Chain A
């Protein structure tokens, strides 16, 4: 699992790139919000570059079957 993301914007963009379909991305963003309480579509300033929050979101995505590569951003 990549731990190198420095912001939720990077995570969001990597996920968008991986998913492609905007409807499917939105659906996954809702699932992430349910699991973590974090809105990855429009992350709040408090969450955006918060290391623990980023790790929590990445871990939730991995649990959902979406392992992201930081290099794909």
Chain B
């Protein structure tokens, strides 16, 4: 293949440059050797104004080093790092305004003493703005999702601990699922509120639906009974299964004198008796 003369090369580069939609630059020794019209428009330069300019002054990362002796060398190194990879960097117009750009850097003649870099530049300001708007939408969506999850958790918490007034002065609390420290604290707080509101004298804690019972749960249950005892409310425990009974014996749990019953019915009979009521076949006397 015959080699092109320098003039031919310049003519070819200019023709290709005019046909490009992207900004096109050729940089060697850290200096702009050629810029197409799109590049001139992107950098706000007059025709021919970029030729001979220090490439480093067009790069935001290197802008602060303008005037430094090693700027051209740094610009060549900066371009070398970007060869054959597509990436985005902030560039600088001649008026000092920055803009985000997608760059594609290739080496034109690897055997030359000073490599000639061909650089294509696309202004991605609009895409960045669109991405920022989408990002803001995503953040707003996530905030709404988290708020909905928190609201659901609150509803589930409310539903998982119904405090029922089963008779005048008697509250019943069926515990369902597992009892952990957070739930025990929540149960205690809500029970104290309900006891004060209803002027309750007996609270029946029904454990029939408690699925997971461990040693810690037993201690937590005892602490609820003790707290209720301190404010003068009798606690009655109903629905103690074999597993819980064994755990209570093993740990020698003090339920603050709270009587235990196998069923809710027995506990209610006890509660009514405490309040001076007596159950008979005809009803409550």
A contact set with B: CB distance below 8 Å: 24, 27, 30-31, 34-35, 37, 46, 50, 52-53, 56
List chain A residues, Cβ under 8 A from B135: 31, 34-35
Cβ 8 A contact of A52, one of B81, B138, B142: B81
CB contact list, B133-154 vs A, under 8 A: 134-135, 138-139, 142
Quick check: B134 and A52 within 8 Å, CB to CB? no
Q: Give, as a whole number of angstroms, the nearest-CB distance from B133 to chain A.
A: 10
For this complex, 13 residue pairs linking A to B, each with C-beta atoms less than 8 Å apart, are A24-B142, A27-B138, A27-B142, A30-B138, A31-B138, A34-B131, A34-B138, A37-B88, A46-B85, A52-B81, A52-B87, A53-B87, A56-B87
- Chain A minimum-CB-distance residue to B82: A52
Question: In the bound complex, what is the Cα–Cα distance between A11 and B142 (angstroms)?
Answer: 22
The winner among A30, A31, A34, A50 for most chain B CB atoms within 10 A is: A34
Tell me if B's interface is mostly helix, strand, loop or mixed: helix
User: Which A residue sits closest to B134, measured CB to CB?
Assistant: A34
CB distance from B59 to the nearest CB of A (A): 14
The listed residue with most B CB atoms (<10 A of its CB), out of A35, A50, A53, is A35
Is the contact region of chain A dominated by helix, strand, or loop, or is it mixed?
helix
Q: Which residues of chain B are within 8 angstroms of A50 by Cβ–Cβ distance?
A: 85
The 3 closest A-B pairs by CB, nearest first: A34-B131, A34-B135, A27-B142
Interface string of B43-80 (1 = CB under 8 A from A): 00000000000000000000000000000000000000
> Taking the nearest CB of chain B, how far is it from the CB of A31, in angstroms?
6
User: Chain B residue with minimal CB distance to A27?
Assistant: B142
Measured in the bound complex, the distance between the Cα atoms of B89 and A60 in whole Å is: 13
Complex Cα–Cα for A22 and B90 (A): 33
Nearest B residue to A51, CB-CB = B81
Query: Could you say which residues of chain B place their CB within 8 Å of the CB of A31?
Result: 135, 138-139
Contact partners of B87 in chain A: CB under 8 A: 52-53, 56
Residues from chain A with Cβ under 8 Å of B81 in the complex: 52
Q: Tell me the minimal C-beta distance from B219 to chain A in angstroms.
A: 28
CA A19 to CA B168, docked complex, whole Å: 49
Q: Closest A-chain residue to B102, C-beta based?
A: A37
Query: What is the chain A residue whose CB lies nearest that of B81?
Result: A52
User: In whole angstroms, what is the CA distance A9 to B265 when docked?
Assistant: 60
A50 to B82, CA, bound (A): 11
Given contacts A27-B142, A34-B138, A46-B85, 13 further A-B pairs with CB under 8 A are: A27-B138, A30-B138, A31-B135, A31-B138, A31-B139, A34-B134, A34-B135, A35-B131, A35-B135, A37-B88, A50-B85, A52-B81, A53-B87
In the assembled complex, the Cα of A32 lies from the Cα of B135 at a distance in Å of 9
Residues of B within 8 A of A37 (CB): 88
Q: A31 vs B187: C-alpha distance in the bound complex, in angstroms?
A: 40
Shortest CB distance B142–A (Å): 5
Q: CB-CB < 8 A to B142: which residues of A?
A: 24, 27
